[in-house]
Structure 1
């Protein structure tokens, strides 16, 4: 959740800068900043994807709770984790493509 909210906030910030025309007033290498942003978000989403996939793989792990063996994740939690893993993977792929395009703009 932290990764998606942070990426959304910074995306809105970049969009606001571009729509307001402030990019012409600020002397910066915007192609590099775009590349750095996409690289950072790609790394964070890739980490979130790996953590979510690892948590989902624990579905078959059982733990002892008051002398009864219960699965670590209920079926509902497992389904939610599968959906979150798929979303994180798709978002990681999308940011990876954006990273490739940003690298291509930055290094012609």
Structure 2
């Protein structure tokens, strides 16, 4: 059964976005994604192609998460119930992308350990941990968004 066209989206607006679950996860996704971005940018890597993908994903997700957070705060999701689908789609894609960069970072970190570069090894370990943490957060957000989407339809 489909949802009525005039149904209000269950995604909260205003300050409630920062106090409701799973939107509260967006703040932590924002922080962890920013840390991955900063750590990868500060480390010297052996594989520039991998670093390019990691930087693209972390910056892309950082920007889109920020944009969605601002849009939810101003209440654009109240105009259409399609925003629940946008929320599900974005967080699923972000989870898959973050999983790919977490695995890449873990592999690259192994090669940095072999080369004996301790400073970059520690930076890449931190980036790998935060990438896996961001993957977990985006996955949890995607699952909760799916539950919300299914319960609203």
Same fold (TM over 0.5): yes
For 2:82 and 2:59, how far apart are their aligned partners in 1?
25
Divergent runs of 4+, >4 A: none
Q: 1:11 to 1:59 in 2, by over 3 A?
A: closer
User: Alpha-carbon deviation of 1:28?
Assistant: 5.2
In structure 1, list runs of 5 or more residues that go unmatched: 62-70
Q: How many positions carry a matched residue from both structures?
A: 97
**Alpha-carbon RMSD:** 1.7
- Which residue of the partner structure matches residue 20 of structure 1? 74
- 1:4-30: per-residue Cα shift (whole Å, max 9, x none)? 2211211222122222233334x4511
Structure having greater relative contact order (Cα 8 Å, sep ≥ 6): 2
User: Does the 8 Å contact 2:113/2:121 carry over to 1?
Assistant: no
In structure 2, list runs of 5 or more residues that go unmatched: 1-54
Report which of the two structures shows the higher radius of gyration computed on alpha carbons: 1
- Which residue of the partner structure matches residue 75 of structure 1? 118
With normalisation by structure 1, the TM-score equals 0.78
